[in-house]
């Protein structure tokens, strides 16, 4: 999320959580929220390619 400047949000019961380039944000609601929402925002105009250091290369599979 940080490299892409995207956003991850969760709303459930009486709480809110967000993780983005600005850090983590939490909040509590005075009334319960009837359900859950998960929002993943990815910038699709980002032309960079990202990979984990631990990823297996396709050449190493066979």
The per-residue pLDDT for 62 is 64
Output 53 or 32, whichever has higher pLDDT.
Answer: 32
Residue 26 Cα distances to 3, 6, 13, 34, angstroms: 21, 17, 13, 18
pTM to 2 decimal places: 0.68
Output 57 or 7, whichever has higher pLDDT.
Answer: 7
Burial of 4 (0-12, 13-18, 19+ CB in 10 A): middle
The per-residue pLDDT for 20 is 92
User: Would the CA dihedral through 39, 57, 46, 18 be positive or negative?
Assistant: positive
Q: Classify 41 as helix, strand or coil.
A: strand
Distance (Å, whole) CA 26 – CA 15 = 7
Give mean pLDDT, residues 34-48: 91
Say if residue 12's pLDDT is above 80. yes
Say if residue 44's pLDDT is above 80. yes
């Amino acid at each position: 999320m940080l490299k892409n400047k995207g956003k991850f949000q969760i709303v459930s019961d009486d709480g809110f959580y967000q993780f983005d380039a600005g850090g983590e944000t939490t909040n509590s609601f005075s009334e319960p929220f009837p359900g859950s929402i998960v929002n993943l925002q990815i910038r699709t105009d980002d032309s960079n390619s990202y990979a984990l250091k631990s990823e297996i290369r396709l050449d190493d599979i066979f």
